[in-house]
A and B are shown apart, each in its own frame.
Chain A
């Protein structure tokens, strides 16, 4: 039922003929192809689709298109005038207010509404006006800064040749993010595209059979095909590791978690949208679910996978000397049990993309963090050679590990391959949440022991991790955790073990930190306990024990350089003393229910894969047309690797960043730079970019027959090389036909871990210490974080603005982990029941960059992506304890849990008196 809807769009009169009940957001995107307006939830929960309707900000996903007739709609595409960014857009760019950029259009439109009413808003007004838009990358603070400073944005820096590393360069891909031009997974599709929707299990565990699918298909003329597992051309199993692949693209008669795909409907968009899942002829035989660790570890359960009779996917272990003896002989011992929840990535971009067959090859254009792994995995699923698969990553609207797994790619690729037509799929928010991997819930028991002077003597740690129905990155978590579980401290005797356990819950996989954030909650709480027992200040207690240059880790690795934790702790000390004292003063004077506290968290994090090769290769070419191009396979998921790779390569080559073009991600055009995970891109791919730049520079200098100190310049079809007073000019036409190509490959030096976890698992480690200041309402149990001070040893900040952005975003996610985030399969599959921090929840964040250079890193750099998140939750929990005396051992520390802990603490205290 389509009707013409005439309205004014960004100042232009338009008429769209569409079903008036469809949302304005869909009409803008699907009918008018104005895809700057993003859809993150279709439920008014995220604000990504914010537009102005008759001047007022509204969620376009909640506006029936029929009611905009005769009215004014302004979208993000309407902000720039005559190709010039508005002052607000400029300010977002310069302040680094956009990371992945998926929420940026919504942020801009909400801010545009505010600024139309209030020329010089206060911070409180900015928070209220933008409070309806969620961001998962930035931690909001730089957005607030950008709005407050919009009328006087600072000028963007343009570093000269050789000066790019260390410069606060604006994101090279930033402009497209603030205009709405950036194309994410759902933003482009071929005109003749079919649409695919997976039908998913409503049950946590079941067997199923299909009824007459062919008859069902014939009843719906626009339904072209119903894919089942029998249609998968190759191997209907995938998984991260070469062995142990356990996850089907489409379930084969058995579903192991709610949200598992059982078949896929392919047809025209209207038909696919009109079919209800429950009408598809599927006969379900519900089986008892096995939810949570206890259910899976109970005796007499039917194992989830036949080859794992005890439901244990994998075990991890690091053992050094005799931990039990170290505990027996200790002056102080602290024990604790800890529990964490499933955490959802909640990137604002649900998975999306399309596939098309190009003769005997398949191309997948979708959001991903790992193009080459996708390629190889899809080749297996489709029964093709890897070279027959081309992955073209779109911009990624947030990843955080969640887009390291395949999601819709096997389905759209199979459909496009079989039908020889392009096929597109966009996940709904509930679908994304129900079917894609989460952070592992952990159950941890740990014991920390130290001598009378506060030196740690021994640590015992065991963590069980709920890996859900399929392996995904469970083995990575199980292996990484024991290495990090004693914390960033010198501990002579260690026994750290872990297990990943299959359950019928949503698969758990990679999420910013691979289990280390969960472990850090335990090790930092016990560090606090030991300090309290000995009457040593908690920060000082860390200072006594920090890993430093020359320290031996529990895996027997000697830290040769770049171990700046001590410097991070010392950098916090003045603020720590000041804020602790202020909090205690506040509490002594407190009449009401508010109590303040300050806590500290420390962390370390091995950069790159654990003891596994993870090379990156980068190429940089000089064409005969004079184009200098970096071919980077590193996917920028908002963290800024596109910018960082150019900064590194430009300095290695000796040209300004502006001289370089970037081709990113496409497996046909770029070499394998591995996955965007494990905080590895700056360190590993950055090294490859440096080596590639140096390689090309060498070739150019050789061609010009000059020495290493020569300066390279590109000007009007000529390459000018100067050395001292000598100048050589090379005609680009004289270059070989393919131009010059510099190549760099880097694989961090590691060794395998033996049966006791001894070896060199990582080439380098990032370190950090953060403090949190909180205010707890002891009557309600609510916690407001007032401030975070974050000191991070990043080796070298290639781009300090982006490093700060990563820290802000990590802090916000750590705050969510600590206080509010808990995914419950089947119950919190949306962004109003699953809570992530909003504008009003993230406090001021002070960042301190410690640059203890890593000799192996590009210009001394390490990584920052995951380290930013790890210490935040422990610091917040420590601060709650300092404020109230209540020890929170289960996160999230929701108001009910904090209140219960305060009441229990009060009873304990009363009993003791």
Chain B
């Protein structure tokens, strides 16, 4: 057992100082913290970062949009972000119910690093980076570098994720998100897909597509992304996607589905996502 500590600093430097002295469980939305402790003692040392008002508001910062540590999924839905964020907004609406969207943070979703995290495929497709701060300074990692495995990240215990940074697209950007689950609301994905294309003169200049819940970490599909470049953005894109593009996935059997079904439906969703992107222009 042991007596738990609880700190709720009002400033980032205080928070970082606290993390520098001892490892603490960082609680932002709390939506992953409490569920992991049902029927167990609350004996962690907790750093509640909800008081860090400086990490609350979304902003534009040069070539990036900044989604700070306390930005919730509701903020993503309501912040008046450009259409480029459509995929992330669609994902935001699929995170739990409105109660969860109001509390859970985008950064927390990444730090929790669930294979079925709703935010990860879209943020991979947006080529997002994460910003980690400690008393030693600040560093940036790509999201792919940050999430290293099933519930594993590159965050050191003394670090706090202060923001997700979404680079602005070089061309006209389109995004979508599709989620497959066994019921309508409050459902953990069987498969989900986040997809972004940048279009220049009617042709695809860049494509980024990621599939979640089909491997320990959501995976980009680089082969398909390369093949899409130069194509016209129309519904015939769906015909391009084939099973070999899914090679990066390593789906498993679990309580939600079978590995075979995940592979099968991932391809279906992939084609639908491409059709959806074509329709979004």
Q: Which A residues form the contact surface with B (CB < 8 A)? A: 1, 3, 19-23, 41-45, 47, 50, 56-59, 61-64, 66-67, 110, 113, 127-129, 131-134, 273-276, 428-431, 779-782, 819-820, 822, 824, 827-828, 830, 832-833, 835, 837-841, 894-896, 899-900
Contacts and interface: CB of A to CB of B under 8 A. Distances in A.
A21 B6 contact: yes
Nearest to B93: A128
Given A44-B99, A59-B99, A62-B31, A67 B183 contact: no
Contact of A276 (B41, B96, B103, B265): B41
Contacts, number: 174
B188 A66 contact: no
Contacts of A895: 180, 182, 190, 257, 261, 265
A57 B5 CA distance: 27
Contact of A57 (B1, B99, B261, B265): B99
B46 interface: yes
B20 interface: no
Contacts of B8: 20, 64, 66-67
A1 B97 contact: no
Q: What class of interface size applies to chain B in its complex with A?
A: 35 or more
Nearest to A893: B182
B258 A896 contact: yes
A138 to B, nearest CB: 15
Contacts of A429: 38
A199 to B, nearest CB: 11
A110 B35 contact: no
B112 interface: no
Contacts of A841: 183-185
A45 B93 CA distance: 16
Contacts of A430: 38-39
Contact of B185 (A63, A827, A833, A839): A839
Interface string B27-70: 10111011100111111101010110000000000000000000
A66 B255 contact: no
A321 to B, nearest CB: 44
Contacts of B97: 47, 110, 131-133
A43 B35 contact: yes
B281 interface: no
Interface string B83-107: 0000000000100111110110000
Nearest to B100: A44
A780 B265 contact: yes
Nearest to B8: A66
A57 B101 CA distance: 9
A274 B184 contact: no
A273 B41 contact: yes
Contacts of A828: 255
B264 interface: yes
Contact of B96 (A22, A42, A44, A113): A44
Contacts of A41: 38
A865 B256 CA distance: 30
A61 B183 contact: no
A67 B41 contact: no
Contact of B257 (A42, A131, A830, A894): A894
Contacts of A66: 6, 8, 48
A110 B98 contact: yes
Contacts of B136: none
B51 A274 contact: no
Contacts of B99: 44, 47, 50, 57-59, 62, 110, 132
Nearest to A45: B186
Nearest to A41: B38
Contacts of A833: 188, 255-256
B187 interface: yes
Chain B CB within 10 Å, residue with most, of A44, A64, A819: A44
A554 to B, nearest CB: 37
Given A131-B98, A273-B42, A274-B43, 4 more contacts: A62-B33, A66-B6, A276-B40, A896-B190
Contacts of B22: none
Interface of B: 1, 3-6, 8, 27, 29-31, 33-35, 38-44, 46, 48, 50-51, 74, 93, 96-100, 102-103, 180, 182-188, 190, 255-258, 260-261, 264-265, 268-269
Contacts of B43: 274
B18 to A, nearest CB: 14
B249 to A, nearest CB: 16
B98 A132 contact: yes
Contacts of A59: 31, 99-100, 103
Nearest to A220: B1
Contact of A64 (B46, B96, B261): B46
B76 to A, nearest CB: 14
5 contacts: A62-B31, A274-B43, A428-B39, A894-B182, A899-B264
Contact of A58 (B35, B40, B102): B102
Contacts of B40: 276
A62 B29 contact: yes
A59 B257 CA distance: 28
Contacts of B51: 67
Contacts of B41: 273-276
Nearest to B72: A56
A23 B35 CA distance: 11
Contacts of A43: 34-35, 38
B39 A820 contact: no
B183 A820 contact: yes
A104 B254 CA distance: 33
A22 B42 contact: yes
A797 to B, nearest CB: 31
A645 to B, nearest CB: 36
B30 A64 contact: yes
A59 B98 CA distance: 9
A197 B253 CA distance: 34
A837 B183 contact: yes
A819 B184 CA distance: 12
Contacts of A56: 74, 102
B30 A20 contact: no
A42 B265 contact: no
A832 to B, nearest CB: 6
B131 to A, nearest CB: 23
Contacts of B6: 1, 3, 19-21, 64, 66
Nearest to A896: B261
Given A1-B3, A820-B182, A820-B183, A64 B39 contact: no
B268 A779 contact: yes
Given A132-B97, A132-B98, A837-B183, A62 B4 contact: no
A840 B183 contact: yes
B34 A838 contact: no
A839 B98 CA distance: 13
Contact of B184 (A20, A57, A840, A896): A840
Contacts of B50: 64, 67
Contacts of A896: 190, 257-258, 260-261
B98 A63 contact: no
Nearest to A21: B6
